[in-house]
Structure 1
């Protein structure tokens, strides 16, 4: 074949050149026209022209850390996409996510839609207002307290298995040493605690959101492949049937009245302003949301708490002294919420863990509405995407002190309470904040108090960092610890 024959035809070459020109113009024209008025803001060079930088950074699993480094380099305002500005000022929280400012969730949330839009991923203000009215009463403090017996029941099951671990009588059922662990000469059982927190969280939320637990704690393993996708989470838990909703086991409850106090029952009872209940698809979508939101968040936070307490022995011992003083005469291994809800050091420990390891650390993107928005003295036109990175404002030295990477619960007694209140953002802020924060708070208080009253933990490697990978949530990869029963 001659060189001339090997060359692409003029038609193909022209098409390739035209494609390159069109793609280039699609990125360059908006940059020079600058419709969002953010041309002058600093950031990665590629981010000025394309979403590729942000997409690639997110795919690496460390978006929050990378954006944080950019803010340390450039300051308060950083351009992370052609129309997206990250603002690392706590005052911006009160504007970007506030009631009545008209901002909307961006197209970022389209990726989370399954079956139909739920409370979390709907971008319509009227639709969100309707759904929130139905769902919010379910997570009122009064309603959440009705779920406490379920939570305490599953913690008791966890303790039966962990006690067997400590006694050397429980072996892994999956063939993975991480679940079963091994007992050393020091009397501790050494294992990865992350899978166990997954079992606990999924059994609790399965019980509340579906009407029955997944049975992971009893099986001592992941007995349902629930983590692959929202659809798979339900499909794996149910059974094969003709309709795509028939494998949702709680569907049996559509036509079977029950007085059981759980999330599903309360979702079925919910009504909007016109007295209409949720339909089957809408109910299923909301139950899916509760499964995803109520499982990984609890397990991630519990794991991070265990890591930081195991690494900081003085903090763990101080917490255990408080628990011993307050619960010393209590025989039940799982204290009630009423017994632990006002323990100051316990609350400080949990808050410090949520500060340093917010399960959602990224800046949640919001679209500026018609008429524009003024944030931190800067004006932004309609269509600009703004976000406030939780990971970064939780490390603002002006609020938290210079040792922001240290796990030090004492800072919660020292810091300016007003400044802390407007900066601490583990559940987001405003009308789109986490509707389940009351349930999350109850779970963490009871879980942490119960576990650290009963067991003592050390890290397998005292110098090990808590490795994470971030999608929407910052998920620990493992947490290898040595555990021993305490004499209580």
Structure 2
């Protein structure tokens, strides 16, 4: 063909593959273009095949097919080889310990999560084997040093949110997912109005009303065994329905699971195994049937927003402030409807899932060790007056009650794998160890709460020999 040897059609694509990696893919972020790159990969063989036939009329179909195979195989083989060579031998994280497979790709991580979604336990096992800093991906570290928490999410942190936050809210966005600090701060101010001291005081009566319903339902079983997790979910879901949308889901009254809760669980499940590979999310949401649960949850939230718009509650709720910002705030950023739809998901997930999980684990430990119940009753009896207008405020500073809550959160954090953050371009130093720039980091909360290197942390619930507060330096 055109008097050129097949060797040239092997060499040039190989050079192009290496150049594509070193000149493009190794720089910046490309997760939002993953669908385009997938389509390009799928259709490039056909385009190349037709191009060969078009520009070399002497080529037979067999010759064109052979050349297409040679060119694409050479290109993708060299691209893959360049990526793996860089990640294994030249990547800035090459000196950090971790499993060999993690140096090459996150796909093995995803495969394990598809089998069982227990990322926090898998990461915990890696820390037991490799130490306090583990390379869990080609460009990702898991760190269980206390200093890492402050560096990542503490005041003045220079770290930013990672690529995962771009895709987790698709096709909408939300305040907690916004990577741009200016936009995030503007939305945060709107949310702050819904959580001001005055707003919180207005919510108290509604929260205690559902707490009374929960107690009434549990009491009605007359001491028989019940599925406490179900009732805690019902309580949390009813509360967030009222506080966020001005209308309860009535799960405490009916005793049955609302279809919205099932939709929530189905919708959030894919996020568990997609966290390691954010680039896969834009692909999956565009494949019919691949993300049915997630899409149903998106649609449900949108419908709930429309219902809430049409039914203004007599008492302000969280959506009151978010809708007001969209309709009346002079800043055009708030007029984007994606904010309201995304923030509605934030309210439901953050408000219900975390509360029900914490209540479940808290009472699990109280059942295992009932002497804590005795101590709580002794502390609360003199200060707690059911039905009092200050019912919540009277107990908010109770030391032992707060100790029980904090201990539950230590052993069973709502986000056990920790939050993902990206180091600044210039990198940063954590406890004397330099972390290169633009690296993804996490400080797994579940492991941090059980870390034996912190002398004051114990695997048991509220250990009787806890050190005095002045020794808890690492908790700062």
TM-score (norm 2): 0.72
Alignment-derived partner of residue 421 in structure 1: 475
Match of 2:175 among 119, 125, 132: 119
CA distance in 2, matches of 1:130, 1:212: 27
Aligned ranges 1:73-472 → 2 under 5 Å: 73-166=129-222, 188-226=223-261, 227=264, 228-229=266-267, 232-233=296-297, 235-236=299-300, 245=303, 248-253=306-311, 256=312, 259-270=314-325, 278-279=334-335, 280-327=337-384, 330-332=385-387, 336-401=391-456, 404-408=458-462, 410=464, 414-416=468-470, 418-422=472-476
> Which protein has the bigger helix share?
2
Uncovered stretches (5+) of structure 1, i.e. residues with no partner: 1-8, 167-187, 238-243, 423-488
1:42/1:78 contact within 8 Å kept: yes
The match for 2:32 is none
Sort the Cα spacing of 1:247 and 1:398 in 2 relative to 1 into closer, same or farther, 3 A. closer
**Corresponding residue to 1:55 among 110, 118, 121:** 110
What is the Cα deviation at residue 13 of structure 1? 7.3
- Residues 365, 277 of structure 1: alpha-carbon distance in 2 compared, 3 angstrom cutoff: closer
**Residue-by-residue CA offset, 1:126-168 (whole Å, 9 max, x unaligned):** 22122112212322344322211111111122223222222xx
2:146/2:475 contact within 8 Å kept: no
The equivalent of 1:173 in structure 2 is: none
Unpaired runs of at least 5, structure 2: 1-64, 268-293
Distance, in Å, in 1 between the alignment partners of 2:198 and 2:472 is 27
Residue 54 of structure 1: how far off its partner (Å): 3.0
- For 2:465 and 2:76, the matched residues in 1 are separated by 54
Instruction: Write the distance in 2 (CA, Å) between the matches of 1:392 and 1:68.
Output: 6
Is it true that 1:28 corresponds to 2:84 in the alignment? yes
Contact 2:456 2:472 in 1 (8 A): no
Q: RMSD in angstroms over aligned alpha carbons?
A: 3.0
Distance in 1 (CA, whole Å) between partners of 2:463 and 2:165 is 34
In structure 2, C-alpha distance between the alignment counterparts of 1:390 and 1:311, rounded to whole Å: 23
| Distance change (3 Å), C-alpha of 1:333 and 1:398 | farther
Aligned length: 380
For 1:39, the equivalent position in structure 2 comes to 94
Change (3 A) 1:23 1:150: farther
The higher relative CO (CA closer than 8 Å, separation ≥ 6) is in: 1
Instruction: Please give the secondary structure, in 2, of the residue aligned with 1:190.
Output: coil
* Contact 1:77–1:87, Cα closer than 8 Å, also in 2: yes
For 2:53, the equivalent position in structure 1 comes to: none
Q: Which residue of 107, 113, 122 maps to 1:66?
A: 122
Output one character per residue of 1:220-257: Cα deviation in whole Å (capped at 9) or x when no partner.
Answer: 011223322265346457xxxxxx6577321214xx5x
Secondary structure at the counterpart of residue 302 of structure 1: helix
Greater Cα shift, 227-236 or 138-147: 227-236
In structure 2, the CA distance between the partners of 1:215 and 1:259, relative to structure 1 (3 Å rule), is: closer
Q: Distance in 1 between matches of 2:110 and 2:224?
A: 41
Shift of 1:363: 3.0
Q: CA deviation at 1:211?
A: 1.2
C-alpha change, 1:57 and 1:146, in structure 2 (3 Å) is farther
TM-score for both structures, normalised by structure 1: 0.70
